[in-house]
């Protein structure tokens, strides 16, 4: 009975607090009573909103021009759209820092957006493994997406579910701690997944270099398309861009785990410059790096080879068709079974 009475009194107190600040403005209430503990910068958030809008146009324009890298484009586009919405929420908060709508828009959208971008990054590694040769990898090229894409989806679901619970609790004037804890769990899992991904990337690079030192060019796949692509400055730039984007998303995710781990009133969340530097700058650098060295441009014809979504089903269909045709030669069947001949 006492616990019920205490809970009821707490709800009444929270309701009175919300009503007290419902009509607050910058001129009438201390900034510390708002959802933010600093004056939300209109200029900084407007710049980020514009930059992410430019990045969005870049990804969509590249896809419209090339019609390649569909899954990668979807992942990056979804993430960038959420970034634009999130910064629109922060711009709205500049006008009313006591309003829930803008605050919840930014904290949910900006939290989950990089999970989509991480998915786009994971899709690229399989292509790189095929470009250098699967023999250099500790695991099969397909294993990278089979491992990391489900992990990324789980991370995204946890962050989205946590954000939804926190948003609902906030609207009902209840504590968002449970939702926040679930969001942090999703972010922490994203950090772990990215860490394992980076370890495997380094392992692949080391193994490839060792085989190159002992075998020379024979250590690499000799498909003419891959040979030409490996020597291009675009492909080399893509490797650097992908590494930079991965590090930026990883560092940003580590920061958000530390920030949200303290709750919505912690020490880190009260410092706008940390948010601008470790959230905004890190993510926009990752996006622009992949805008400039989009795999649709860097891989070109190689994008139609094994490694794309549905390519293994396509391989099976082609093989069954040749086997069903009694006039097909053994060389035709062997050509279909060779992953490097698909789309070449």
Which residues make Cβ contacts (< 8 Å) with residue 235, sequence separation at least 6? 131, 229, 298, 299
Say which DSSP state 309 is in.
Answer: T
Number of domains in the chain: 2
Distance CA(204)–CA(140), nearest Å, equals: 11
CATH number at 227 reads 1.20.1070
| DSSP string across 194-253 | HHHHHHHHHHHHHHHHHHHHHHGGGGS---HHHHHHHTSHHHHHHHHHHHHHHHHHHHHH
Return the residue matching tokens 């205490």. Answer: 6
How far, rounded to the nearest angstrom, does the alpha carbon of residue 1 sit from its chain's CA centroid?
48
Q: Helix, strand, or coil here: 306?
A: strand
pTM (two decimals):
0.82
Residues 43 and 175 both lie in one domain: yes
Q: For residue 341, how many other CB atoms are within 10 A of its CB? A: 15
Query: Which positions ≥6 away from 276 have C-beta within 8 Å?
Result: 41, 44
Residue 343 sits in which domain range?
A: 310-344
Secondary structure (3-state) at 308: strand
Q: Is residue 24 in some structural domain?
A: no
Phi, psi (deg, nearest 5) at residue 117: -65, -40
Asked whether residue 156 falls in the same domain as residue 127, the answer is yes
* 244 and 329 within one domain: no
Whether residue 142 is contained in a domain is answered as yes
> Got the DSSP string for 78-120?
HHHHHHHHHHHHHHHHHH-TT-HHHHHHHHHHHHHHHHHHHHH
Whether 80 maps to a domain, the answer reads yes
Helix/strand number for the chain, H first, E second: 13, 0
Rounded Cα–Cα distance for residues 300 and 294 (Å) = 10
State whether 244 and 343 are in the same domain: no
Q: Are residues 234 and 260 in the same domain?
A: yes
Residue 92 CB partners (closer than 8 Å, separation 6+): 99, 101, 102, 105
Residue 5 resides in a domain? no
Q: Are residues 275 and 332 in the same domain?
A: no
In a domain, 8, yes or no: no
C-beta of residue 245 within 8 angstroms of C-beta of residue 59: no
Is residue 280 within 8 Å of 48, Cβ to Cβ? yes
Residues 74 and 113 reside in one and the same domain: yes
46-59 per-position pLDDT tens digit: 999 999 999 999 99
In-domain check, residue 49: yes
pLDDT value at residue 309: 42
pLDDT (tens place) for every residue of the chain, 344 residues total: 444 333 333 333 444 445 567 778 888 888 888 888 899 999 999 999 999 999 999 999 999 999 999 999 999 999 999 999 999 999 999 989 988 889 989 988 999 999 999 999 999 999 999 999 999 999 999 999 999 999 999 999 999 998 888 877 776 777 788 888 899 999 999 999 999 999 999 999 999 999 988 888 888 888 888 888 888 999 999 999 999 999 999 999 999 999 988 887 889 999 999 999 999 999 999 999 999 999 998 887 666 654 444 444 544 454 555 456 554 444 444 444 444 433 32
Q: Are 216 and 340 within one domain?
A: no
β-sheet bridge partners, residue 308: 306
Residue 1 lies in a domain: no
Q: Check whether residue 141 and residue 228 sit in a common domain.
A: yes
Task: Specify the pLDDT at position 184.
Answer: 92
321 and 338 fall within a common domain? yes
Same domain? 273 vs 331: no
Pair 189, 43 in one domain: yes
201 belongs to a structural domain: yes
Cα separation, 292 vs 297, whole angstroms: 9
Q: Which of 41, 39, 74 is nearest to 59 (CA)?
A: 74
């Amino acid at each position: 009975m006492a616990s019920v009475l205490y809970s009821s009194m707490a709800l009444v107190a929270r309701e009175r607090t919300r009503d007290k600040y419902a009509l607050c403005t910058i001129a009438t209430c201390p900034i510390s009573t708002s959802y933010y503990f600093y004056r939300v910068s209109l200029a900084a958030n407007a710049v980020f909103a514009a930059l992410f809008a430019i990045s969005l146009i870049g990804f969509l324009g590249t896809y419209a021009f090339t019609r390649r890298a569909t899954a990668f484009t979807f992942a990056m586009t979804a993430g960038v759209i959420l970034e634009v919405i999130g910064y629109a929420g922060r711009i709205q908060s500049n006008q009313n820092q006591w309003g829930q709508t803008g605050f919840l828009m930014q904290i949910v959208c900006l939290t989950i957006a990089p999970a989509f971008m991480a998915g786009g990054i994971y899709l690229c590694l399989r292509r790189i493994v095929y470009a250098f040769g699967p023999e250099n990898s500790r695991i099969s090229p397909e294993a990278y997406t089979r491992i990391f894409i489900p992990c990324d989806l789980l991370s995204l679901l946890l962050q989205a579910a946590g954000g939804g619970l926190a948003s609902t609790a906030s609207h009902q004037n209840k504590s968002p701690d449970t939702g926040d804890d679930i969001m942090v769990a999703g972010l922490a899992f994203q950090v772990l997944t990215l860490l394992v991904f980076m370890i495997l990337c380094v392992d692949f690079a080391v193994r490839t270099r060792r085989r190159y030192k002992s075998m020379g060019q024979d250590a690499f796949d000799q498909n003419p398309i891959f040979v030409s692509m490996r020597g291009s400055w675009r492909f080399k730039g893509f490797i650097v861009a992908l590494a930079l984007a991965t590090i930026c998303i990883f560092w940003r995710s580590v920061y958000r785990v530390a920030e949200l781990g303290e709750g919505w009133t912690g020490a880190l969340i009260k410092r706008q410059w940390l948010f601008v530097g470790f959230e905004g700058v890190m993510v926009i650098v990752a996006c622009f790096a992949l805008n400039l060295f989009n795999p649709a441009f860097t891989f070109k014809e190689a994008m139609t080879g094994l490694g794309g979504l549905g390519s293994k089903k396509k391989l099976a269909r082609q093989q069954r068709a040749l086997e069903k045709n009694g006039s097909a030669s053994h060389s035709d069947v062997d050509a279909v079974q060779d992953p490097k001949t698909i789309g070449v």
